Structure 1
Amino acid sequence: MHLPPLDVAVYPVVTMSHGRHGSRTNRSLSTISSSSSSSAASMRGCAVAAPDFLSIQRLIQRVFRSSRITVQQAERLQGHHHQVYLARLADGSALVIKCPPNQTTRSLRHEKWGLETERKTLETLHEYTQLPVPQVLKYDGHGGSFGSPYLLKSYIPGRRLSEISPTLSTSERNGIDRTLGAYVRTLTSLNATQFGLTHRVFDKKGSNSWQEAFLALLESALRDAEDMLITMPYESIRGWVNGRSKCLDEVTEPKLVALNVCDPRNVIINEQTKQVSGLVGFSNVIWGDPLLSGGIPDGSDAFFQGFGECPLGTGGHVRQLIYAIYRAVVQIVAHHYRPHSGIDELQARRSLTYALNSLARI
């Protein structure tokens, strides 16, 4: 089963074919059928009206400036956060449309610029690297006649690593890990002039120090938790991290940090060659310390062979503990905002407690 290059979970699919809602059976996908009226009812409460088949076809024809392009099928895929559509064209190709989340889906503070972050990151990667990432075909932050902000991207065929992993041999998995290590090395070799969230850095509103930028990220997540009245050791988190934050000033160059880059759901594998064919999931990208990058906290020996080194260095252990606290806080908060996201809150709380206790002993 081919999947779109997005952070998309396996959920029921609503197929929109030539303006009419139908049902489709897919491996590991539940089959549902829906009339136009029931589909419209399910979309009530969205920030904007969900696009229908004709809207998607008009959008693609307008982007490519051709009325001859025919969309044969448009599927709405229930994603982790955004609304995602996979459009299959008559010539056999496919495109992905990503829209803002439903109004009923709560966003964390750092997630509110996800579309813009993904667009700027993918454009940067296409300009400065040869990494296999989707190509941005069109971005409209206001939506225009489509009625919603959207990101139109190319499609990378393959299967997610999370699906195919149980069938891989040790040799095949080591090869994938080495490739991922090399790709993360390429990502973290890119520099910026400021630290912080991507949309702020590109607008020249970032921070001049990594300590300032990171503490702002952590505080943002803690305030998300406080907004939901989540039970968490706030005083200990703020106290121990602030007390050890001097080591963050060792990071003097802002590097591209893709926090979800090695998430098995974001790694696309060629089913025949068992090699990495694409990387997706670039809506959570900041400029800062490479140690915070996805893949590094739990990287295998093969991963670090591909990366070229184990990037700890002076103060690296303390920074890793601080970053473990941040990741655990974000996971706990995301679980409470979106309880069905598949996050193991108990494990996140264990990780938070371990990192806090370890930091306190230093």
Structure 2
Amino acid sequence: MHLPPLDVAVYPVVAMSRGTYSVRPTRPSSTVSSSSSSSASSRTCTATPDFPSIQKAIRTVFRSSRITVQQAEHLQGRLHQVYLTKLTDSGLLVIKCPPSHNTRLLRHEKHLLETESKTLETLHEYTQIPVPQIIKYDKQGGPLGSPFIMMNYIPGRRLSDLSPYLTASQRNTIDRTLGTHVRALTGLSATQFGMTHRVFAKKGSDSWREAFLALLEAALRDAEDMLVTVPYDSIRYYVGKHAHLLEEVKEPRLVALHACDPTNVLIDETTKQVTGLVGFSHVIWGDPLMTGGIADGSAAFFEGLGECPIKMGGVKARMSMYTVYRATVCIVAHHYRPHFGSDELGARRDLSYALNDLAAM
């Protein structure tokens, strides 16, 4: 499906559900209730919304002073500041704010909220993928003092939490569903390549080669800024050697880099079915082979996708280059934010394998 010019933002108004959500987050969290309006922030967080500002923001969005927030739960372990708010009518809303001011960001992470907002709106308009519905994206922030996304809450447990308890049949069903969703994601196309905020502003690249090399170079510059030890010369040499193969990608497709990350897949605890996908802040427009899930998909996943890429020639080289990029970003992010617990050793191993593959071609 080819999309029209991507410069229109849609903010649908939705009715708040009453008593339809019952699944609680499993991560450790801090809670702010209507009886205690103390901030849910840590001492190092300089821009965390407090309870009154959260309630004011919700009332402003829905234009009603009668809406009452019962509690606001700060969900931990995320790059962004995310709050699950419970209303007195049992409705649940999610408010997502930028990372705290003391959080170091990589170059490609400067426009994550805008990217997620535009991506979710696009997915709601053009697909049937179960993703959160945007209620409001406020670039200014209003009562919260910083930009925020307000969206509905999708019930479910993270696949990462339930994975050890799934049968082979249940996991195959989930993988098949994920493949179907990725097929819908990569079915969307645009007129330019590159990062979402640039594509929507008509400032993207005319070639995938140009866009991808810019992404990789940004990650390497981030590494240089922090004096991270990675094989800079080898990365630039071997990717540059095979960069002409990126020209095989002629049409920009939606690429959700973390689409199938187990922490972004929500599962119904009873039926073991996929209830939703979250985490669309890292989305670009380029080669669908770079989409999350394709590099290590199972047979059931590719059954849902409808095809399995044959890792030969240009396809193999491009997928190796994408592994180089993902591994580099993971390594650098670990040095910027070591408390997030990324797998640096695994990323370094993947980087070495990918560079060896490129060297052997």
TM-score (ref. length: structure 1)? 0.90
Report the Cα offset of residue 124 of structure 1: 0.2
In the alignment, the residues of structure 1 paired with residue 24 and residue 295 of structure 2 have an alpha-carbon distance, to the nearest angstrom, of: 27
Alignment partner, residue 253 of structure 1: 251
Query: Alignment partner for residue 117 of structure 1, among 100, 115, 120?
Result: 115
Alignment partner, residue 34 of structure 2: 18
TM-score (ref. length: structure 2)? 0.91
Structure 2, unmatched stretches of 5+, are: 1-21
For the 8 Å contact 1:19–1:53, the answer to whether it is kept is no
* SS at 2:84 equivalent: strand
In the alignment, the residues of structure 2 paired with residue 59 and residue 19 of structure 1 have an alpha-carbon distance, to the nearest angstrom, of: 18
Trace 1:13-92 onto structure 2 (pairs within 5 A): 13-18=29-34, 20=36, 36=38, 42-46=42-46, 48=47, 50-92=48-90
Q: Deviations over 1:170-205 (max 9, x none)?
A: 100000000000000000000000000000000000
Report the Cα offset of residue 314 of structure 1: 5.5
For the 8 Å contact 1:70–1:90, the answer to whether it is kept is yes
In the alignment, the residues of structure 1 paired with residue 78 and residue 62 of structure 2 have an alpha-carbon distance, to the nearest angstrom, of: 29
* SS at 1:20 equivalent: coil
Trace 1:89-238 onto structure 2 (pairs within 5 A): 89-238=87-236
Q: Cα–Cα, structure 1 residues 19 and 216, in superposed 2: closer, same or farther, change >3 Å?
A: farther
In the alignment, the residues of structure 2 paired with residue 102 and residue 61 of structure 1 have an alpha-carbon distance, to the nearest angstrom, of: 24
Task: Report which stretch shifted further, 130-139 or 314-323.
Answer: 314-323
Trace 1:351-362 onto structure 2 (pairs within 5 A): 351-362=350-361
Report the Cα offset of residue 359 of structure 1: 0.5
Letter in 2 for 1:10: R
* SS at 2:330 equivalent: helix
Q: Deviations over 1:221-262 (max 9, x none)?
A: 000000000011100100110110000000000000000010
Alignment partner, residue 310 of structure 1: 308
Letter in 2 for 1:286: I
Percent of paired sites with the same residue:
65
Letter in 2 for 1:84: V
Task: Report which stretch shifted further, 98-107 or 137-146.
Answer: 137-146
Task: Report which stretch shifted further, 177-186 or 84-93.
Answer: 84-93
Report the Cα offset of residue 135 of structure 1: 0.3
Report the Cα offset of residue 167 of structure 1: 1.0
For the 8 Å contact 1:257–1:289, the answer to whether it is kept is yes
For the 8 Å contact 1:240–1:356, the answer to whether it is kept is yes
In the alignment, the residues of structure 2 paired with residue 43 and residue 134 of structure 1 have an alpha-carbon distance, to the nearest angstrom, of: 30
In the alignment, the residues of structure 1 paired with residue 56 and residue 336 of structure 2 have an alpha-carbon distance, to the nearest angstrom, of: 34
Q: Deviations over 1:279-317 (max 9, x none)?
A: 000000000000000000000000000000013476101
Q: Deviations over 1:29-60 (max 9, x none)?
A: xxxxxxx48x67x34552x3x22111111111
Task: Report which stretch shifted further, 284-293 or 348-357.
Answer: 348-357
Letter in 2 for 1:310: C
Task: Report which stretch shifted further, 317-326 or 338-347.
Answer: 338-347
Instruction: Give the CA RMSD over aligned residues.
Output: 1.6
For the 8 Å contact 1:19–1:52, the answer to whether it is kept is no
Letter in 2 for 1:268: L
For the 8 Å contact 1:270–1:276, the answer to whether it is kept is yes
For the pair 1:338 / 2:337, whether they are aligned, the reply is: yes
Trace 1:313-332 onto structure 2 (pairs within 5 A): 315-332=314-331
Alignment partner, residue 274 of structure 1: 272
* SS at 1:153 equivalent: strand
Aligned length: 339
* SS at 2:27 equivalent: strand
* SS at 1:76 equivalent: strand
Q: Deviations over 1:100-125 (max 9, x none)?
A: 11111111111110000000000000
Task: Report which stretch shifted further, 281-290 or 66-75.
Answer: 66-75
Report the Cα offset of residue 334 of structure 1: 0.7
In the alignment, the residues of structure 2 paired with residue 118 and residue 292 of structure 1 have an alpha-carbon distance, to the nearest angstrom, of: 18
Structure 1, unmatched stretches of 5+, are: 22-35
Report the Cα offset of residue 18 of structure 1: 1.1
